[in-house]
Amino acid sequence: MVGIMLIACAPLFAQQITGSVRGTVADSSGALVAGATVTARQLETGLGRTATTDRSGNYLRLELPVGHYALEVTSKGFQKYLQEGISLNVNETAVVSIHLAVGTETQQVQVKADAEQPAQALRSRPFLPCFVHMGALHR
């Protein structure tokens, strides 16, 4: 009986303490940019994780430790893009859509603004502690 209750609580212990960042990379005319390199760098640790945009200009970086991030995007023929002020919380997804400006990679566009607030639909269930009433086992 105790084993069954432990199994029922197992998903609660498997909760991740990470967040995600996703978005789309486009040029100034709105055309999607495939093959762009998107690096999410955690400001507290300097840890950088990289993703590459797909054919539709979309990128997704899962399981990033919670914290504050800067997002850097590079692609041939475009200025380097840097956005700061991205905060990731537990089980949230920050949505950051990026518009690259035509130019050389040595030029840089810097944005100091928060990412779009995470959508409620993207949140995982909150951690709920599992309590067992021992009196119920003796009935």
Q: What is the span of the domain harbouring residue 109?
A: 18-119
For residues 98, 41, 15, 95, the Cα torsion angle rounded to the nearest 10 degrees is -10
| CATH code of the domain in which 33 resides | 2.60.40.1120
Q: Which pLDDT score, from 0 to 100, does residue 70 have?
A: 97
Confidence class for position 138, pLDDT limits 50, 70, 90: very low
What is the percent of the chain with per-residue pLDDT over 90, rounded to a whole number?
A: 61
Total domains, the chain: 1
- The DSSP secondary-structure symbol of 105 reads T
Q: Is residue 75 part of a domain?
A: yes
How much is the pTM? 0.67
Q: What would the two tokens of residue 22 be?
A: 């996703």
Q: Is residue 8 part of a domain?
A: no
Task: Name the average pLDDT for the chain.
Answer: 79
Q: Is residue 127 part of a domain?
A: no
Q: Is residue 138 part of a domain?
A: no
16 versus 93: which is more confidently predicted? 93
